[in-house]
Homo-oligomer: A and B are copies of this chain.
């Protein structure tokens, strides 16, 4: 029985040693395209992992998000394109803050690319 739910609230009275999971060992369902997995959720944020599986954004598709997103590349490599007309080549450990409504897309991405993304509401 977990001590806390996914928002970190206590479910019990006795502290227990936390459960450890690994970012690389999440099962990847069959099929194509990115896999999003929610890791943690708070009042004003949502932390998720993204396994890209080599799939760039569909032709002509742009993310245009109402909230800012902080993202870090945990494994692999990728190239992101932005509505500004610029592109960014990313390697492991690279992180950036994508402001709300800045259009962006995954131009190319390696098979093993794994991201952490923190979506949050602006203060």
Q: Which residues of B contact A90 (CB under 8 A)?
A: 20
Cα A74 to Cα B19 with chains together (Å): 17
Query: In the complex, what's the smallest C-beta–C-beta distance from A70 to chain B, in angstroms?
Result: 5
Q: Tell whether, in the assembled complex, residue B102 and residue A18 are in contact, meaning their CB atoms are under 8 Å apart.
A: yes
Binds B, one of A35-43, A52-60, A105-113: A35-43
Q: Which residues of B contact A95 (CB under 8 A)?
A: 20-23, 39
Q: Tell whether, in the assembled complex, residue A88 and residue B20 are in contact, meaning their CB atoms are under 8 Å apart.
A: yes
Residue positions of A touching B, CB distance < 8 A: 3-4, 7-10, 15-25, 39-40, 42-45, 47, 68, 70, 72, 74, 82-84, 86, 88, 90-102, 116, 118, 120-123
